[in-house]
Structure 1
């Protein structure tokens, strides 16, 4: 069994622009190991979220290869790719992606229902309790604060225990205490051969990762191993300097 859940070689991604294709990622190679939390940081416009979407198959790469759980994403059809995401990957988005008509409990249970798996009610309630929302299980998203909605999105991932969690700014809408709680849960999720890939502007969150990739202009500018927050902050600042 390989120690890498994700293997990327020479990943390039461009988007159409008025003057032709605009490159956002420019030949990135990386791996995500079993049991690790990998944080991706960098100045605005460095390609962080685009990288996350390409690694998870939400955006197709323009060039290069992305292998997830040993499967090359570029070779998968739409159905196979959707099945891979449904059965093995979990997502925490900045905009939460909760269903407005469902309660918090129903939103957390939704991935299992969509996969036609038995819903473990105890696991759903445990996930909500873990993020401090046991008393909000019956509330719809409109009755929750932005931070509470973010924690529901985290609970939804925790309940299904995916092989890889992709998190885009998982602490962005949270206060310090709630953010620390979510980060501890994501750390716990990176166990039993599972991993977390997290894009963040929060240097404290990044400092809790096993490795930190610092992007600049669509390239890996630096790789940091278990850095402190000051080191992450300095690396981001340096990546933002041009000339």
Structure 2
């Protein structure tokens, strides 16, 4: 069994220029690997390429050059249907905007991905996922009846219910208060177990310090790598990236 769930080699991403301008480089040759059971945070100044990197690693955005391998499968060599099947069966994504269906209850939102993928999921599994995030008594509530923190926890329950091998989380605490944010981080921490991994992009440096490893991006490259850092170490690394003289 490969000890790495995700391997990225020399990844670069540029966006087309407008009105005859040259393409804009966002990622500039990034290589990394994510081990089984690892909780990895990606931090850095605004515009450093964090979210673009996350979307490329998750197979939601094609890189300009370089390779991404999920569970040993090179994503770029797969057809669209095979890529979709790989994500559906092995990848979970937690968005900052929750992406819940307004007309569905919490229970129905959690059940939806498995049903769309035609995967068997029992009522017990759905109920257990909602219980895990502390919302067993809100199963029949629609998103409009839930707070932002509760909606984010439903979004995480939706991921937990299908037990993906790797979870990508884009600013999962960005719109939450401190208490709700801590609950979400605890859930993500627990998800990085039993050979499963979590990759999180965040501006919350305290949250990043709770991870096993932190990558600090600057100008589309990995500026620093920190192993089990303190919050002060993360703050110092990001401050150095932000104050670099160009």
Question: Is the TM-score greater than 0.5?
Answer: yes
Which runs of at least 4 in structure 1 moved beyond 3 Å after TM superposition? Answer: none
Task: Report matched runs for 1:140-179 at 5 Å.
Answer: 140-179=142-181
Equivalent residue, structure 1, for 2:134: 132
Residue 238 of structure 2: aligned partner: 236
Q: Answer yes or no: is the 8 Å Cα contact 2:42–2:201 preserved in 1.
A: yes
Name the TM-score, length of structure 2 as normaliser. Answer: 0.96
> By how many angstroms is 1:178 displaced?
2.2
Which residue pairs with 1:196 in the alignment? 198
CA distance in structure 2 between the aligned counterparts of 1:21 and 1:165, rounded to whole angstroms: 30
8 Å CA contact 2:149–2:181 kept in 1: the answer is no
Q: How does 1:11-90 map to 2 (within 5 A)?
A: 11-18=11-18, 19-90=21-92
Comparing 227-236 and 127-136, the one that deviates more: 127-136
Following TM superposition, by how much is the alpha carbon of 1:230 offset from its aligned partner in structure 2, in angstroms?
1.1
- Counterpart for residue 3 of structure 2: 3
Task: State the shift of 1:227 in Å.
Answer: 0.3
Q: Distance in 1 between matches of 2:104 and 2:70?
A: 31
Are 2:92 and 2:167, in contact at CA under 8 Å, matched by a contact in 1?
yes
Is residue 217–residue 224 contact of structure 2 (8 Å, CA) maintained in 1? Answer: yes
8 Å contact from structure 1 (residues 6, 69) kept in 2: yes
Q: Distance in 1 between matches of 2:96 and 2:153?
A: 11
Q: CA deviation at 1:239?
A: 0.7
Measure the CA separation in 1 of the matches of 2:232 and 2:244. 21
> Unaligned regions of 5+ residues in structure 2, if any?
none
Q: Counterparts of 1:203-214 in structure 2 under 5 Å?
A: 203-214=205-216
Please state how far the C-alpha of 1:242 moved relative to its aligned partner: 2.6
- Determine helix, strand or coil for the equivalent of 2:11: strand
Looking at structure 2, the residues matched to 127 and 5 of structure 1 have their Cα atoms a distance apart, in angstroms, of 23
Distance (whole Å) between structure 2 residues aligned to residue 126 and residue 203 of structure 1: 31
C-alpha distance in 2, partners of 1:92/1:239? 26
Q: Match of 1:123?
A: 125
Cα offset, 1:175, TM superposition: 2.2
